[in-house]
């Protein structure tokens, strides 16, 4: 298992989104446990998590272990490896305050080398250890709504969904900040329909408006499908 570098952030391109506060609130919860942040491909999960990690480190002075799909190498000692990285029990801390360490796993969907039973055992065990020890919490970034629902069902007490399904969707005010001025109403509306910064930055530059329409509709349907699948987990 290897530490992953934080995704690069171009500060001028970071648009404040309400989901950043929801992520921060979850990681500051003294109750700990495992949290799931779901959003479709290109919805800004990695950048939001990178901003969160930097905030935890620089403003809060807490430790952050940032992992991506390439860092998660299957091992029968995975749980032991995680636990060895945790702050010592000898170090005093207040269990009514946020934990001294957070683990962020980006792009969990693409983790290779894990069989289903092993992944489930690792996540549920870490959720139980987190909730009982209060020494760390964990954030999983997931693109597949079906995968998110599956993981949430593994342990509903200690594995929770961040906010409401689709809370990371980009709304018109976010899109307008990213696009700036001089963009046609149709392009703006298609970007709002897609609801992701990735579509806004890249697809909005495509000259073929027909392709933009089809891509925007695909994104919108993915959001709607995921929101339906995860509606039972809304807090």
Each residue of 130-164: pLDDT tens digit? 998 888 999 999 999 999 999 999 998 999 999 99
83 and 181 share one domain: no
Residue 56 has pLDDT above 50, yes or no: yes
- pTM value is 0.87
CA distance 148 to 228: 12
Total number of domains in the chain: 2
Burial of 118 (0-12, 13-18, 19+ CB in 10 A): middle
- Of 143, 165, 187, the residue that ends a domain is 165
CA distance 120 to 117: 5
CA distance 196 to 191: 7
Q: Residue 2 domain-assigned?
A: no
- Of 122, 140, 165, the residue that ends a domain is 165
CA distance 28 to 19: 14
Q: Residue 4 domain-assigned?
A: no
Alpha helices in the chain (DSSP H): 18-27, 45-58, 78-84, 116-133, 145-154, 172-179, 185-194, 197-202, 209-230
Cα–Cα distance list, 89 to 42, 82, 220 (Å): 39, 14, 46
Alpha helices in 104-204 (DSSP H): 116-133, 145-154, 172-179, 185-194, 197-202
67 and 99 share one domain: yes
CA distance 162 to 168: 10
Other beta carbons less than 10 A from residue 34's beta carbon: 25
What average pLDDT score do residues 124-135 get? 89
CA distance 117 to 103: 21
Closest CA to 218 of 54, 97, 4, 40: 40
List the helix and strand counts (H, then E) for the chain. 9, 5
Q: Residue 54 domain-assigned?
A: yes
Structure tokens, 46: 């990695």
- pLDDT digits over 57-67, tens only? 888 788 888 88
Residue 170 has pLDDT above 80, yes or no: yes
CA distance 64 to 66: 6
What average pLDDT score do residues 76-95 get? 60
**Domain of 86?**
11-165
200 and 120 share one domain: no
Contact 225, 141 (CB under 8 A): no
% of the chain at pLDDT higher than 70: 79
């Amino acid at each position: 298992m290897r530490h992953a570098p934080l995704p690069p952030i171009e500060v001028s391109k970071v648009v404040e989104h309400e989901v950043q506060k929801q992520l921060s609130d979850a990681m500051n919860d003294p109750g700990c446990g495992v949290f799931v942040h779901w959003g479709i491909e290109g919805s800004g999960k990695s950048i939001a998590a990178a901003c969160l990690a930097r905030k935890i480190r620089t403003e809060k002075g807490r430790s952050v272990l940032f992992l991506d799909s390439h860092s998660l190498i299957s091992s029968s000692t995975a749980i032991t490896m995680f636990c060895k990285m945790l702050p010592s029990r000898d170090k005093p801390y207040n269990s009514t305050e946020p934990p001294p360490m957070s683990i962020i796993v980006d792009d969990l969907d693409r983790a290779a080398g894990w069989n289903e039973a092993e992944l489930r055992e690792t996540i549920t065990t870490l959720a139980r250890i987190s909730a009982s020890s209060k020494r760390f919490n964990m954030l999983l970034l997931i693109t597949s709504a079906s995968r998110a629902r599956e993981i949430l069902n593994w342990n509903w007490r200690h594995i929770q969904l961040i906010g409401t399904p689709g809370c990371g969707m980009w709304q018109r005010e976010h899109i307008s900040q990213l696009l700036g001025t001089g963009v046609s109403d149709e392009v703006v509306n298609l970007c709002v329909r897609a609801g992701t910064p990735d579509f806004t930055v890249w697809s909005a530059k495509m000259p073929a408006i027909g392709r933009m329409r089809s891509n925007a509709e695909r994104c919108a349907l993915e959001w709607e499908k995921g929101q339906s699948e995860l509606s039972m987990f809304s807090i």
